[in-house]
């Protein structure tokens, strides 16, 4: 009797998958049976941080740690609510939206007891912009009047930067344009205050745990590079009464597997900013474990399409390529992380904050794609040389590229060659414009649709497509100058329409962020920029824990923000 | 002997210079650059960063006046004599200052309408490879590798390596100790009793360990002892901390690194022993009626250990600078990681620091091994009858 190998193998694979799922389900029950920790000590994993100095922090790991040590005028809310006043008490905006007057909260002080003044903010922001500081994050301050010229070295007088102290507690900020998201910017790291008296006393060494002076909810008491950082509650923090955690340990690792192991053996309560191990992610997703979460993120994944290179210089070919990719199937079978399909570059996350409904671009339509390609004179891909798709090393990128390659072959008859390269090499290729299709992505610099649209400005360095449209640039300028949100949304939509018409990109999907978090940890709420201040974190109360164990979901609402 | 030593030391320095220069050149040839991350930086921000590392310099304006417009773009290559900008002088005439040497434009400084004095920066340009090389060699000679790009100037390469190297050194020391004790004794036993059950046992073990790379052995041990049994912990290595909470994180990395080298040592010792025991001088020693213990330890052992000693050079350098894989798996904050990350991130000073560190170790280890060999084996010294 012949036994066919294939069905048996499939059965085996299915059985293994079922077993893995059963194991994950057991694990879920185990997690809900855990007792509440007796101490107020949170541990999580994090990649190594490059800098601690808030003037220089420009990457996730450093940001996650230091935003709990330094406070700005405003701080991020718990979840997707508007920013909450912290060092500031209130602010007023002028009618043209360009002058902000911020009043500091009375009685706020540094951890050494010295009062925090308006002057501290002026000095700190100028320090970030000083060319000698060479801060990567300086660009986030370019929204201030005169900031760019001072940062470039064209102006040398710091007084030309649009931030001045009216008195000890009043700060006057001059902006280049009306900036509706300026309140969100005020929460960013380069906008926090740094202690002038400590920096001037210690120089670069001021940031070491034995010398550091800060004004945030937590104090940095230990930092061993690539090993561990420790924070403890700051008793002098103005809102200390509402800070629940006593101690935080950040265990550094670059390995997703190690971070996962730490979480599974209970050494950490949150997986931190590390990713789920690639081989475990699908079974974790399928398991319905109570500690598994997948949140949408303000990031977009797309292909840059070089608009000045045959055959992609023909907008019909660019449109055909976009129409021929079945993005729903891509999300469902390849990405498998609940990623929303992208028909344009702006993620659908601005409804609550801006009242903005994104423009729905072209959806999958192979029939129309074939027609457009035929109109361009390439029916069934005739007369088209193989198109090269460049992507950087990464299993996910490869799978996506292969999926697109198959789609274009099957739906259009277009041959696609894949070219895999290391990120540095790909970026060089993209910057040089020496490609037809290249993998790109963009994550929001600030929570506003403009950050995604600006990528395709003719002067933008990240505009790898070589797309130059005076009309589009004009709409962007109008968005920047428009103080009224409703009228601004109309302009944003107009910009999206132009992009969908000219197709300098092939949008694929918007990101989600999957992570593990012990079910008793509350106050970690969904946030589009993936920011979760630790001052809001606490364990569930016994009553809440009982509810969570029964399968209820307990959320802590956002705080009243704004003024 | 002294002359031989001096000769070797000079040759060592020459080798080091060649290695450093080659790596310097190769590094610059690699595409991409240290300031390319997920997002491209604004030219002015990149210029500020580059200035901190001597990778960019200002091009001053030779005249005073008002900037009308730039005639170049960031990223553009400038040939000598190419006009850079248009400047309206006080007497309303237009001046077009030109580039004096070949260079690449990194950023334009300021916008049209700006008032310029003589010497005010007009452009930021990239410094040439030769400028950088001269500057680099001079500071390397003073053991100054500069600051790491990863820290954007906040930390020197020496400080970073100074923190990581003791960790790798400690891991390497214990691993080497384990490897030598286990490997040489197993090899000796096998070599003295070939084809006995002991020999088969230790050689099968050695074959297994040699074939199993640390990328398999490490995660396997971790899975068993740290995740399943939870007897040991991962992460939090402190050099020279020898209490249980700190020792428990060191056991598995030392074991993984040590076992693999132990296997090599065992096989080499066994082969050496098998060869030596058949030789005339051992037979003579036996014929003189020396006890077997002395024959083995005093005569045979010295010969049998020679292949081990020659392998010790590269093994020492490899073990001490740490295995990248083991450091990754067990979260050991040693030097190994920098070999990979600094090259991927184009952290030029860090690459040079690690390359020079590894090369000096390799050169020193080989030198020591040659001296040791000479001491053990009269034939190497060249002073025998």
Distance to chain A for B81, nearest Cα, Å: 24
Please tell me the predicted confidence (pLDDT) of residue B385.
37
Distance to chain B for A426, nearest Cα, Å: 8
Exposed e or buried b per residue across B310-339, where buried means at least 16 C-beta atoms within 10 angstroms of its C-beta: bbbbebbbbbbbbbbbbbbbbbbbbbbbbb
Is the pLDDT assigned to residue B90 strictly greater than 80?
yes
Q: How far apart are CA B107 and CA A261, in angstroms?
A: 46
Distance to chain A for B74, nearest Cα, Å: 10
Residue of A nearest to B48 (CA): A134
User: Using one digit for the tens of pLDDT, what is the confidence trace for A189-206?
Assistant: 999 999 999 999 998 889
Burial of A330 from C-beta contacts in 10 A (0-12 / 13-18 / 19+)? buried
Q: Is residue B200 part of a domain?
A: yes
Please tell me the predicted confidence (pLDDT) of residue A546.
95
Q: Which two tokens stand for residue A223?
A: 């930092």
- Into how many domains does chain B fold? 2
Q: Is residue B31 part of a domain?
A: no
Residue to test with chain B: of A44, A48, A49, A134, most B Cβ within 10 A: A134
Please tell me the predicted confidence (pLDDT) of residue A203.
87
Nearest to A221, CA basis, from A206, A211, A231, A236: A231
| Cβ within 8 Å, pair B43-A461 | yes
User: Using one digit for the tens of pLDDT, what is the confidence trace for A486-506?
Assistant: 999 999 999 999 999 999 999
Q: How many CB atoms lie within 10 A of CB A172?
A: 15
* B79 in the same domain as B189: no
Please tell me the predicted confidence (pLDDT) of residue B380.
64
pLDDT band at A3 (very low <50, low <70, confident <90, very high): very low
Is the pLDDT assigned to residue A388 strictly greater than 90?
yes
Q: Which two tokens stand for residue A77?
A: 């809310």
Q: Is residue B286 part of a domain?
A: yes
Distance to chain A for B299, nearest Cα, Å: 48
- Please tell me the pTM assigned to this model: 0.84
Taking contacts as CB-CB distances below 8 angstroms, the residues of chain B near A154 are 109-111, 114, 121
Taking contacts as CB-CB distances below 8 angstroms, the residues of chain B near A431 are 40, 75
Distance to chain A for B150, nearest Cα, Å: 6
Residue to test with chain B: of A208, A227, A254, most B Cβ within 10 A: A227
| Cβ within 8 Å, pair A431-B227 | no
| Cβ within 8 Å, pair A152-B41 | no
> In this structure, are residues A391 and A420 in contact, taking their beta carbons and an 8 Å threshold?
yes
Taking contacts as CB-CB distances below 8 angstroms, the residues of chain A near B153 are 134
| Cβ within 8 Å, pair B40-A135 | no
**Over the Cα atoms of chain A, what is R_g?**
25
| Cβ within 8 Å, pair B58-A228 | no
* B66 in the same domain as B161: no
The more confident residue out of A129 and A13 is A129
Is the pLDDT assigned to residue A305 strictly greater than 70?
yes
* B211 in the same domain as B79: no
As a whole number, mean pLDDT of residues A278-286 equals 81
Q: How far apart are CA B342 and CA A341, in angstroms?
A: 36
* B310 in the same domain as B161: yes
Distance to chain A for B38, nearest Cα, Å: 8
Name the one residue in this structure whose structure tokens are 């030219």.
B43
| Cβ within 8 Å, pair A431-B152 | no
* B164 in the same domain as B116: no
pLDDT band at A284 (very low <50, low <70, confident <90, very high): confident
Residue of B nearest to A424 (CA): B32
CATH of the domain at B183: 1.10.3720.10
Q: Which of B71, B103, B126 is the last residue of a domain?
A: B126
Does A434 contact B at CB distance below 8 Å?
no
Q: Is residue B2 part of a domain?
A: no
Distance to chain A for B191, nearest Cα, Å: 41
| Cβ within 8 Å, pair A261-B226 | yes
Of A155, A258, A441, the CB nearest to B331: A258
Of B110, B230, B328, the CB nearest to A255: B328
Please tell me the predicted confidence (pLDDT) of residue B384.
44
Q: Which two tokens stand for residue A239?
A: 């809102």
Q: Is residue B20 part of a domain?
A: no
Distance to chain B for A224, nearest Cα, Å: 9
Please tell me the predicted confidence (pLDDT) of residue A505.
95
User: Using one digit for the tens of pLDDT, what is the confidence trace for B297-339?
Assistant: 777 888 788 888 888 877 887 777 657 888 888 888 888 888 8
Residue span of the structural domain in which B295 resides: 157-384
Name the one residue in this structure whose structure tokens are 């240290």.
B34
Of B32, B40, B153, the CB nearest to A462: B40
Of B36, B230, B331, the CB nearest to A427: B36
pLDDT band at A432 (very low <50, low <70, confident <90, very high): confident
Does A550 contact B at CB distance below 8 Å?
no
Is the pLDDT assigned to residue A306 strictly greater than 70?
yes
| Cβ within 8 Å, pair B337-A226 | yes
Nearest to B99, CA basis, from B76, B120, B118, B81: B81
Q: Is residue B4 part of a domain?
A: no
Of B32, B154, B234, the CB nearest to A428: B32
CB-side neighbour CA atoms (13 Å) of A448? 20
| Cβ within 8 Å, pair A424-B230 | no
CB-side neighbour CA atoms (13 Å) of B171? 34
Distance to chain A for B90, nearest Cα, Å: 19
Mean pLDDT of chain A: 90
Residues in chain A: 563
Please tell me the predicted confidence (pLDDT) of residue A562.
54
Helix (H, G, I), strand (E, B) or coil at A446: coil
| Cβ within 8 Å, pair B154-A424 | no
* B306 in the same domain as B182: yes
Please tell me the predicted confidence (pLDDT) of residue A439.
94
Of B31, B152, B331, the CB nearest to A56: B152
Taking contacts as CB-CB distances below 8 angstroms, the residues of chain B near A258 are 234-235, 329, 331
Q: Is residue B194 part of a domain?
A: yes
Taking contacts as CB-CB distances below 8 angstroms, the residues of chain A near B36 are 423-424, 427-428
DSSP label of A335: I
Is the pLDDT assigned to residue A163 strictly greater than 90?
yes
pLDDT band at A16 (very low <50, low <70, confident <90, very high): low
Name the one residue in this structure whose structure tokens are 């400028």.
B131
User: Using one digit for the tens of pLDDT, what is the confidence trace for A389-412?
Assistant: 999 888 789 999 999 999 999 999
Residue of B nearest to A442 (CA): B39
| Cβ within 8 Å, pair A422-B329 | no
Packed helices A485-502 and A470-481: angle between N→C axes, nearest 10 degrees: 160
| Cβ within 8 Å, pair B38-A443 | yes
Distance to chain A for B40, nearest Cα, Å: 6
Q: Is residue B49 part of a domain?
A: no
| Cβ within 8 Å, pair A422-B40 | no
Select the highest-mean-pLDDT range: A425-429, A530-534, A557-561: A530-534
Q: How far apart are CA A100 and CA A93, in angstroms?
A: 5
Is the pLDDT assigned to residue A415 strictly greater than 90?
yes
* B303 in the same domain as B171: yes
Residue of A nearest to B50 (CA): A134
Select the highest-mean-pLDDT range: A254-258, A342-346, B82-86, B168-172: A342-346
Please tell me the predicted confidence (pLDDT) of residue B289.
83
| Cβ within 8 Å, pair B331-A462 | no
| Cβ within 8 Å, pair A225-B163 | yes
Least confident of A245-254, A424-433, A514-523: A424-433
| Cβ within 8 Å, pair A136-B49 | yes
Taking contacts as CB-CB distances below 8 angstroms, the residues of chain B near A135 are 45, 48
User: Using one digit for the tens of pLDDT, what is the confidence trace for B34-81?
Assistant: 776 667 788 888 888 888 888 888 888 889 999 998 998 888 888 888
Please tell me the predicted confidence (pLDDT) of residue B165.
87
Please tell me the predicted confidence (pLDDT) of residue A248.
96
* B224 in the same domain as B111: no
Least confident of A13-22, A457-466, B154-163: A13-22
Does A529 contact B at CB distance below 8 Å?
no
Query: In sequence order, which residues have a C-beta less than 8 Å from that of residue B217 and are 6 or more positions away?
Result: B209, B256, B259, B260
Does A329 contact B at CB distance below 8 Å?
no
Q: Which two tokens stand for residue B102?
A: 């070949």
Taking contacts as CB-CB distances below 8 angstroms, the residues of chain B near A254 are 328, 337
* B214 in the same domain as B88: no
Planar angle of CA B174, B354, B346, nearest 5 degrees: 135
User: Using one digit for the tens of pLDDT, what is the confidence trace for A203-221?
Assistant: 888 989 999 999 999 999 9
* B208 in the same domain as B306: yes
As a whole number, mean pLDDT of residues A235-242 equals 95
CATH of the domain at B73: 2.40.50.100
Q: How many CB pairs under 8 A join A and B?
A: 128
> In this structure, are residues A525 and A80 in contact, taking their beta carbons and an 8 Å threshold?
yes
The more confident residue out of B48 and A129 is A129
Taking contacts as CB-CB distances below 8 angstroms, the residues of chain B near A463 are none
As a whole number, mean pLDDT of residues B118-146 equals 84
* B365 in the same domain as B287: yes
Name the one residue in this structure whose structure tokens are 């049209």.
B112
| Cβ within 8 Å, pair B109-A154 | yes
Residue of B nearest to A443 (CA): B39
| Cβ within 8 Å, pair A462-B39 | yes
* B210 in the same domain as B98: no
Does A423 contact B at CB distance below 8 Å?
yes
User: Using one digit for the tens of pLDDT, what is the confidence trace for A319-360?
Assistant: 999 999 999 999 988 888 889 999 999 999 998 888 999 899
């Amino acid at each position: 009797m012949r036994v066919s190998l294939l069905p048996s193998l499939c059965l085996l694979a299915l059985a293994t998958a079922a077993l893995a799922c059963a194991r994950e389900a057991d694990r879920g029950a185990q997690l809900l049976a855990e007792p509440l920790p007796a101490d107020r000590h949170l541990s999580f994993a994090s990649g190594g941080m490059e800098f601690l100095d808030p003037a220089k922090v420009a990457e996730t790991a450093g940001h996650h740690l230091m935003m709990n040590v330094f406070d700005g005028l405003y701080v991020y809310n718990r979840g997707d609510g508007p920013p909450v006043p912290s060092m500031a008490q209130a602010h007023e905006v002028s009618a043209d939206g360009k002058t902000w007057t911020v009043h500091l909260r009375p009685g706020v002080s540094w951890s050494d007891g010295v009062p925090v003044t308006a002057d501290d903010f002026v000095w700190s922001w100028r320090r970030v912009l000083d060319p000698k500081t060479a801060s990567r994050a300086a660009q986030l301050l370019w929204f201030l009047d005169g900031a760019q010229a001072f940062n470039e070295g064209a102006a040398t007088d710091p007084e030309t930067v649009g931030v001045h102290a009216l008195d000890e507690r009043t700060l006057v900020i001059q902006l280049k344009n009306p900036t509706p998201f300026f309140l969100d910017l005020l929460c960013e790291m380069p906008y926090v205050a740094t202690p002038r008296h400590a920096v001037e006393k210690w120089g670069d060494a001021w940031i070491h745990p034995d010398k550091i002076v800060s004004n945030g909810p937590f104090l940095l008491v230990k930092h061993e590079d690539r090993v561990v950082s420790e924070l403890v509650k700051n008793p002098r923090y103005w809102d200390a009464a509402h800070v629940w955690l006593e101690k935080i340990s950040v265990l550094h690792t670059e390995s997703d597997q190690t971070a996962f192991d730490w979480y599974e053996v209970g050494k950490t309560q949150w997986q931190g900013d590390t990713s789920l191990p690639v081989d475990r992610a699908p079974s974790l997703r399928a398991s319905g474990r109570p500690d598994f979460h997948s949140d949408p993120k303000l990031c977009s994944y797309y292909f840059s399409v070089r608009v000045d290179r045959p055959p992609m210089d023909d907008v019909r070919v660019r449109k055909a390529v976009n129409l021929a990719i079945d993005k729903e199937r891509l999300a469902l079978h390849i990405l498998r992380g609940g990623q929303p399909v992208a028909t344009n570059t702006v993620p659908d996350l601005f409804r609550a904050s801006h009242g903005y409904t994104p423009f729905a671009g072209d959806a999958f339509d192979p029939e129309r794609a074939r027609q457009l390609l035929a109109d361009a004179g390439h029916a069934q891909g005739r007369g088209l040389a193989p198109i090269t798709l460049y992507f950087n090393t990464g299993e996910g990128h490869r799978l996506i590229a292969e999926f697109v390659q198959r789609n274009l072959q099957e739906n259009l008859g277009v041959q696609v060659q894949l070219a895999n390269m290391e990120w540095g090499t790909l970026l060089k290729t993209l910057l040089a414009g020496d490609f037809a299709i290249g993998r790109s992505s963009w994550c929001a610099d600030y929570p506003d649709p403009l950050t995604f649209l600006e990528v395709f400005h003719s002067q933008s360095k990240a505009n790898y497509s070589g797309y130059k449209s005076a009309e589009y640039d004009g709409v962007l300028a109008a968005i920047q100058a428009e103080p009224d949100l409703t009228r601004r949304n109309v302009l944003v939509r107009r910009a999206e329409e132009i992009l969908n018409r000219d197709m300098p990109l092939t949008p694929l999907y918007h990101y989600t962020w999957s992570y593990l978090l012990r079910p008793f940890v509350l106050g970690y709420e969904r946030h589009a920029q993936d920011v979760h201040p630790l001052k809001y974190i606490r364990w569930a109360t016994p009553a809440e824990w009982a509810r969570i164990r029964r399968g209820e979901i307990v959320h802590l609402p956002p705080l009243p923000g704004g003024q | 002997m002294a002359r031989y030593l001096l000769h070797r030391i000079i040759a060592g320095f020459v080798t080091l210079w060649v290695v450093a220069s080659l790596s310097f050149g190769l590094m610059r040839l690699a595409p991409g650059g240290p300031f390319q991350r997920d997002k491209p930086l604004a030219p002015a921000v990149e210029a500020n960063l580059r200035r901190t590392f001597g990778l960019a310099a200002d091009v001053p304006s030779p005249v005073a006046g008002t900037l009308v417009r730039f005639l170049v773009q960031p990223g553009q290559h400038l040939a000598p004599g190419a006009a850079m900008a248009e400047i309206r002088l006080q007497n309303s005439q237009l001046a077009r200052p030109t580039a004096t040497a070949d260079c690449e434009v990194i950023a334009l400084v300021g916008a049209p309408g700006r008032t310029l004095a003589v010497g005010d920066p007009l452009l930021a340009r990239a410094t040439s490879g030769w400028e950088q090389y001269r500057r680099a060699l001079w500071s390397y000679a003073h053991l100054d590798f500069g600051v790491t790009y990863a820290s954007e100037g906040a930390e020197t390469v020496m400080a970073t390596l100074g923190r990581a190297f003791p960790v790798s050194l400690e891991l390497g020391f214990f691993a080497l100790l384990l490897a030598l004790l286990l490997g040489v004794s197993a090899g000796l036993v096998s070599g003295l009793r070939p084809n006995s059950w002991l020999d088969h046992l230790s050689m099968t073990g050695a074959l297994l360990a040699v074939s199993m790379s640390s990328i398999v052995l490490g995660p396997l041990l971790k899975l068993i002892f740290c995740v399943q049994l939870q007897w040991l912990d991962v992460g939090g290595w402190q050099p020279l901390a020898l209490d249980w909470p700190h020792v428990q994180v060191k056991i598995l990395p030392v074991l993984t690194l040590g076992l693999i080298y132990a296997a090599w040592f065992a096989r080499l010792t066994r082969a050496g022993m098998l060869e030596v025991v058949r030789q005339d001088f051992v037979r003579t020693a036996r014929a003189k009626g020396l006890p077997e213990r002395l024959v083995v330890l005093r005569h045979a052992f010295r010969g049998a250990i020679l292949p081990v000693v020659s392998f010790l050079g590269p093994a020492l350098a490899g073990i001490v600078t740490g295995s990248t894989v083991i450091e990754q798996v067990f979260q050991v904050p040693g030097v190994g990681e920098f070999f990979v990350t600094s090259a991927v991130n184009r952290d030029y000073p860090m690459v040079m620091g690690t390359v020079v560190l590894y090369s000096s170790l390799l050169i020193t280890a080989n030198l020591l091994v040659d001296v040791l060999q000479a001491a053990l084996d009269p034939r190497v010294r060249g002073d025998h009858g």
